[in-house]
Amino acid sequence: MYDLKNIQALAMVIDMQSFDLAAQKLFISQSAVSQRIQSLENRMGLPLLQRTLPYRATQTGELLLKYFQQIRLLQHDLDDHFSQRATPQTVSIAINRDSLDTWFYHTLPDLHLLTDFRLQIITDDQELALDYFKNGLVSACISTHAKALNGCRCDYLGQMEYLLVASPEFHDKNFTRVSGSLARKLLGSPAVIFDKNDFLHKRYLEKHFKIEGEPSYHIAPSVHCFRQFVLCGYGYALIPRIDIRNELRDGQLIEVAPNKTWKMKLYWHYWSVDSKHYQSFNRVIIERAKHYLSCN
């Protein structure tokens, strides 16, 4: 049996990215935090923490973090079963911003189990979210990868269709009035992306237009601000159809390449751990996501 206090110290250092802040959270000294992690490493005979910023767990450390989080979920169920006052457990998920602000937003009224959990959401590109799950940093995630990890489950949610769009003014100025191929026009016009981890735009241009270079771009790390950039005519972008139905209908946005869309299949990855509350939480998300994505 592993000492959970020692694993908790490891988890807290990675979560807080600081030995000092981890010590404050655990109400112990900084040296005690180091001693707990060292004791665990001595027990395992392997390093568990990469001791350079940013702090990360080693491969063995990742396994212990997953074990620790799953034990906490089971402990919560046990307390609930014996009618003890269960301390709300933290459940972290990794999700891309487009999903967060569309279908996940609409699941919130159904997530009554948030009275049992404290939900922490990490937003990142859908191609990177699975890394958080693999590393034991989150309890569930969205991904484009269809294969479940060992000891985990993976459910297909549906797909999001992305359209390449621009405002009528931007389209007229940068595409209609400019001669040359559309590929050349796209490369010479400003695009809008979320952040430097947003690889969807680059992959889209490579697939549909054989463009290997990158256009100049604005970075807008907010779904609403991102859309506003495009509506104001500052650039063109890939946006989910479900997020701009009204703007397309009203003519505020038009498709740049109507026959070239990007359909992204989404999957929900989560543990197989036999926790009633945790599995109910995942079931609600999966059911609501499937319903919303199938209707849109």
Half-sphere exposure of 95 (CA within 13 A, CB side): 22
267: pLDDT strictly greater than 90: yes
Structural domain tally of the chain? 1
Element (H, E) at 288: helix 276-295
Nearest to 205 by CA among 262, 243, 259, 125: 262
- Is there a domain that residue 221 lies in? yes
Percent of the chain with pLDDT over 70: 96
- Is there a domain that residue 270 lies in? no
Domain CATH code at residue 183: 3.40.190.10
User: Which residues is 161 bridged to in the sheet?
Assistant: 263
Question: Is 177:281 a contact under the CB 8 Å cutoff?
Answer: no
How does pLDDT run across 109-145, given as a tens digit for each residue?
A: 877 767 777 889 999 888 889 998 988 888 899 999 9
In terms of C-beta density within 10 A (0-12 exposed, 13-18 middle, 19 or more buried), how is residue 15 classed?
middle
- Is there a domain that residue 41 lies in? no
- Is there a domain that residue 269 lies in? no
Nearest to 252 by CA among 228, 277, 279: 228
> Which residues lie closer than 8 Å to 183 by C-beta, 6 or more apart?
205, 209, 210, 211
Among 82-96, 132-146, 158-172, top mean pLDDT goes to 158-172
- Is there a domain that residue 232 lies in? yes
82: pLDDT strictly greater than 70: no
How does pLDDT run across 8-28, given as a tens digit for each residue?
A: 898 889 888 999 999 998 899
Which tokens hold the place of 268?
Answer: 């929900």
- Is there a domain that residue 233 lies in? yes
- Is there a domain that residue 188 lies in? yes
CA distance 183 to 207: 11
* Residue matched to tokens 């797909």: 159
**Which domain covers residue 208, as residue numbers?**
160-264
- Is there a domain that residue 201 lies in? yes
Element (H, E) at 253: none
How does pLDDT run across 217-237, given as a tens digit for each residue?
A: 999 999 999 999 999 999 999
